[in-house]
């Protein structure tokens, strides 16, 4: 698959298995998601540009590595994206945060925007878009369309699970956007849920079902 990075770290896979179990209670699910998102954030930031800065240690001067230039913006696709956001913010507390709210039109089945608030100077930032489930890919594509319209040029997509259908749709619409996920699952079922998946991520993290 083009532009897809699967994080196969044992800790990620172990935690994901616990999340998939249908009997895992809401509080454990939320805690596991927070822990996994921190590990995924580590991977999604792996190739950020670096430079050096001259510092003084207690022993001597040193040309030390530091992050270069572009600042980060984290954009959560509501509402499930918020479950990934907390863990990523633990790792990158200085990142700016934006939100994209989309719902699915019952008739056309197309995503419709109801909320959009993002940090300024988006074109200067590495934008990490967050949604735990890349299922059909329609909301991911719609969110990224909006971010590009708002000026974003460097975008990455972080999810917990991806379906092959969603990866294909996103790759075709936005070949410049790398996808980072903990698992590429088998396929979507007839109502658009990922199989084997973990069910409705929003319901499981917020206990709404």
d(C-alpha 133, C-alpha 138), whole Å: 11
135 touches ligand URA (CB under 6 A): yes
Q: What are phi and psi of 203, to 5 degrees?
A: -60, -40
Among 36, 85, 142, 201, binds ligand URA (CB under 6 A): 201
Q: What are phi and psi of 30, to 5 degrees?
A: -65, -40
List binders of ligand URA among 34-93 (CB under 6 A): 80
Binding mask 3-22 for ligand URA (x = CB under 6 A): --------------------
d(C-alpha 157, C-alpha 74), whole Å: 10
193 touches ligand URA (CB under 6 A): yes
Residue in the structure block whose two tokens are 């396929």: 187
100 touches ligand URA (CB under 6 A): no
- Active site includes 203? yes
- Active site includes 185? no
Query: Could you tell me where the DSSP H helices lie in 127-163?
Result: 138-149
Q: Which of 30, 79, 96, 104 is catalytic?
A: 104
- Active site includes 104? yes
Which segment (7-15, 94-102, 168-176, 192-200) binds ligand URA by CB under 6 A?
Answer: 192-200
194 touches ligand URA (CB under 6 A): yes
d(C-alpha 182, C-alpha 173), whole Å: 22
Q: What are phi and psi of 60, to 5 degrees?
A: -165, 175
Give the residues lining the site for ligand URA (CB under 6 A).
80, 133, 135, 192-194, 197, 200-202
């Amino acid at each position: 698959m083009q532009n897809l990075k699967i994080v196969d770290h044992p800790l990620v896979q172990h935690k994901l298995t616990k999340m998939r179990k249908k009997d895992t209670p809401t509080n454990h699910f939320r805690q596991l998601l927070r822990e996994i998102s921190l590990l995924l954030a580590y991977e999604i930031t792996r190739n950020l540009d670096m430079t050096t800065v001259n510092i003084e240690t207690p022993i001597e001067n040193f040309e030390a590595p530091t992050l270069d230039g572009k600042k980060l913006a984290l954009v959560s696709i509501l509402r499930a994206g918020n479950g990934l956001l907390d863990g990523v913010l633990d790792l990158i507390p200085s990142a700016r945060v934006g939100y994209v709210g989309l719902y699915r039109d019952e008739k056309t089945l197309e995503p419709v925007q109801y909320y959009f608030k993002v940090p300024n100077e988006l074109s200067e930032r590495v934008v990490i878009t967050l949604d735990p489930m890349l299922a059909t890919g329609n909301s991911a594509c719609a969110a990224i369309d909006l971010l590009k319209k708002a000026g974003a040029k460097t975008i990455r997509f972080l999810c917990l699970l991806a379906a092959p259908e969603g990866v294909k749709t996103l790759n075709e619409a936005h070949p410049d956007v790398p996808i980072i996920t903990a698992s590429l699952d088998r396929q979507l079922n007839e109502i658009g849920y990922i199989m084997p998946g973990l069910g409705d991520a929003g319901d499981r993290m917020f206990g709404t079902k």
